[in-house]
Chains A and B, each alone.
Chain A
Amino acid sequence: MDITRRRLLILLPAAAIAWKFVQAGTPESSPNYILAEHWWGMLIDIPKCIGCGSCVRACAEENDVPDGYYRTWIERYHVADWKIERPEVESPNGGKQGFPPNEIGDGKNFFVPKLCNHCVDSPCTQVCPVGATFVTPDGVVLVDKSYCLGCRYCVQACPYGCRFINPKTNTAEKCTLCYHRITKGLTTACCEVCPTGARQLADLKNPKDPIHDFLKTHTVQVLKPHMATGAKVFYNGMDGSVR
C-alpha cells in the first residue's frame, strides 16, 4: 500500500490513539524512585481520630477490597475507670460507615485505626512456605498473589489480625501501604482522605520527614511490643488497654 499524504493524515491520529491504549495497559514506571532511599512506616495520632471511616472506605475503593474484609479498620474503645485490661471494643463493619453514637456512659472512649504494621521481622513473612510474602527493600510487606498458595499460614501467624484470604483470588491479602502510590511520590489513600491528619505516612529514612521531630517529642508506642515484630506503625497517645 502506498503511503500518500492523505492516508498518513488518517493513520497518524489512529496510531496515536492506539499508543495511548498500549500505555494504559502498562504499569506506570517510577524512574526517580530509589528503593534504598526509603523505609516506610506510618504514624497514627489516636487523639486526632474521629472514627469517621473515611480511611476504610478510601482503602476499600483504592484497592478493591471485598466486602467483609479489611486492609484497614477502626476500633472504638471504651474503658471504664481503671479496668484497662477489660476494655469494651467494637468495630461494626470495620468502622467503614463510622460509628453509632456512643451509649456507654462513664469512662473514656477513643478510636484506634488499625492496619498492617509492616514489621521489620514480620512473622507472616517468616512462615510463608514459598516466599510469596516478602519485605521490599523500602520496608513494605507485600504479597505476590501470582505465587501465593493460599495455605493461610501467614493469616495465622499475624498477631494483629491484618491478613485475610481474598475470596476472588484465593490468595492472602493485606495492606500494601498503597505501594502503587507511595512509589510515585503520593501518600496512601487512607492518609490522603483523613480529615484530621490522624494518619501520616512516614519515611523513616528521609531525614526531612516530620515523623522524626514527632517521635522525638511525643510518647509513642507500637501494638503488642512483646511480639518483637519490629512494627513500623507508631501510635501516639495510645492507651494501655489497646491490643
Chain B
Amino acid sequence: MNIPVEGFMYPNEVELQWSILIVLYPFITGLVAGAFILASLERVFRVEAVKPTYRLALLTALSFLLVAPLPLQLHLGHPERSLEMYLTPHRSSAMAMFGFVYLWYLMAVLLLEIWLDFRLDIVIKSQTTTRVTRLIYRALTLGSDNISERSLHIDERLGYFITVIGIPSAFLLHGYVGFIFGSIKANPWWSSPLMPIVFIFSAMVSGIAAVMLLYMVTTRLRGRDIDIRCLDKIAQYLFYIFMIDFSLEMLDLLQRVYEADESFRSLDFMVHTRLWTSQVIIQILIGTVTPITLLGLTQILKLTEAARKRIYALAGCLTVIGIFAMRWNVVIGGQLFSKSFLGYTTYKMAFATREGLLTAIALLILPFIILSVLVKLLPPWPDAGPVPAPGAIEPRNQLTPVLRG
C-alpha cells in the first residue's frame, strides 16, 4: 500500500473506505428521484407541456433504480450478508433503512405506477402479438386484462394517487441518501442538516437534465421532431430548481466560511488543492454556473428554436457532469482529509477491479441497456399509443375513446 500522504493522517485513515462505486450510488438514486419528479409534473401538477417525456421519465427512473443497489452490493466486504439488512435491521442506523426505502420506492411506487400507466398497452399487445412476445405481454398483464372504460378510469385514479405518494417518496429516497452522509458528526465535510435538502434538489436537477437529454436523443434517433414547447418547459423548471440548488449549496458554503470552525482551515486547503479541479472548476464553474447562465439566457433572450435546442443540450450535459462532480466531491472529498485536520491522503482509483473504474463505467452503461429493453417492450413515445388492429381486441375488452396517449 503506497498512498501519498501530506501532513498527518491517523494511521487507519490513509486508505479510502468508500470508492467511486459509492459516488455512483447517490448519483444514480438522484437520477431516479429527479426523473420521477419530472414525471409527476405532468401527472399531479398537470403541466401538460412536459407530457411527451412523462412515460420516458418513468422508464428512466425504473432503469436507474434497478441498478442503484448494485454499486453498494459490489462494495460490501460480504455481499452475501446484505439480506441481513432486511432481516435484522439495526434501528438506530441511517443505512439500515436503505433496503426498505428502496423496496418501497421500487415496488409500491415506481413499478405500480408504470404498470398502471402501461396496462392498456400491455393488454392490447398481449392480444395483438404472437408467440414469445405474446407470452411476455400476457405475463405482464398479471392476469388483469379488463380494459373497459371503468377499469381504465380506476387505473387513472389509482395512478394519480400513487404519483401523489410518489413525490414525497422520491424526496424520501434521495433525502435519505443525503442523511446517510449528513448525519456523520465525525466528518465535518458531510455533517450538515442541509445535506438531505441539497441532495433532493441536486437530484431533481440531475434527473430533469438527464430525461431532457434522453428525450432529445431518442426523438432524434426516431427521426421525429422535438416538441420545443416541451423542451422549453423542462428547461424552465431545470433553471428554477437549479437556482434553488445552487443557492442552498452557496448558503452551506457561506455558513462554513463565516463560522470558520476548527475544521475550516483544513477543508479550505483541501478545496484549494486536491478538490480544486473537481469542485471549483468542474462542479461549480463548468457544471453549475455555466448551465445556469445558459438556461438563464434562454429565459431572457428571444433565441431561435435551433439555438435553444443546442443550448438545452449543452446545458443538460454540463448539468449532469456537474452533479456527478458534486457526488464525487462529497463522497471522495469527505475522505481525503484527516479527522485530526492535520493532513490529507490521496484517492487512487483502481481500474479493472471490483471497485474500479471499469466496474463504474459498466454500472453507468447498464441503466441505458435496461432502458433500451424497456422502451422496446413498453414504447413510451406519445406518438406510439395503442392502436389496435381492427377486430384484434376480444369483445369483452372493447376499447373506448378515453385512451390516454
Binding site for B on A (CB under 8 A): 68-70, 73, 75, 87-91, 93-94, 114, 123, 125-131, 147-153, 155-165, 169-171, 227, 243
Chain A residues lying within 8 Å of B15, measured Cβ to Cβ, are 164
Once the chains are docked, how many angstroms separate the CA of A161 from the CA of B8?
A: 12
Verify B84–A151 contact, CB threshold 8 A: no
Chain A nearest CB from B329 CB (Å) reads: 16
Residues 155-187 of chain B: 1 if any A CB is under 8 Å from the residue's CB, otherwise 0?
000000000000000000000000010001111
B139 beta carbon closer than 8 Å to chain A: no
Chain B residues lying within 8 Å of A243, measured Cβ to Cβ, are 340-342
Chain B residues lying within 8 Å of A155, measured Cβ to Cβ, are 12, 17
Residue from B1, B93, B187 in contact with A68 in the complex, judged by beta carbons closer than 8 Å: B1
Residue of A nearest to B335 (CB): A156
Binding site for A on B (CB under 8 A): 1, 8-13, 15, 17-18, 72, 75-78, 81-82, 84-85, 88-90, 92-96, 98, 180, 184-187, 335, 338-342
Chain B nearest CB from A87 CB (Å) reads: 7
Chain A residues lying within 8 Å of B92, measured Cβ to Cβ, are 125-127
Contact A130 B12, CB 8 Å, known A147-B84, A151-B76, A171-B77: no
For the complex with contacts A91-B11, A93-B11, A227-B186, 20 further pairs of A-B residues with Cβ separation under 8 Å are A70-B12, A73-B10, A73-B11, A87-B342, A89-B340, A130-B81, A130-B93, A131-B90, A131-B93, A148-B77, A149-B78, A151-B72, A151-B75, A153-B93, A153-B95, A156-B17, A156-B335, A161-B9, A161-B10, A227-B185
Verify A157–B186 contact, CB threshold 8 A: yes
Chain B nearest CB from A136 CB (Å) reads: 16
Chain A nearest CB from B262 CB (Å) reads: 8
Contact A90 B8, CB 8 Å, known A149-B76, A155-B17: yes
Residue of A nearest to B72 (CB): A151
Once the chains are docked, how many angstroms separate the CA of A70 from the CA of B1?
A: 14
* Max chain B Cβ within 10 angstroms of own Cβ: one of A68, A94, A148, A153: A153
Once the chains are docked, how many angstroms separate the CA of A206 from the CA of B10?
A: 33
Chain B residues lying within 8 Å of A130, measured Cβ to Cβ, are 81, 84-85, 88-90, 93, 96
Verify B10–A149 contact, CB threshold 8 A: no
Residue of A nearest to B81 (CB): A149
Verify A129–B185 contact, CB threshold 8 A: no
Chain A nearest CB from B87 CB (Å) reads: 9
Chain A residues lying within 8 Å of B90, measured Cβ to Cβ, are 128-131
Chain B residues lying within 8 Å of A73, measured Cβ to Cβ, are 10-11
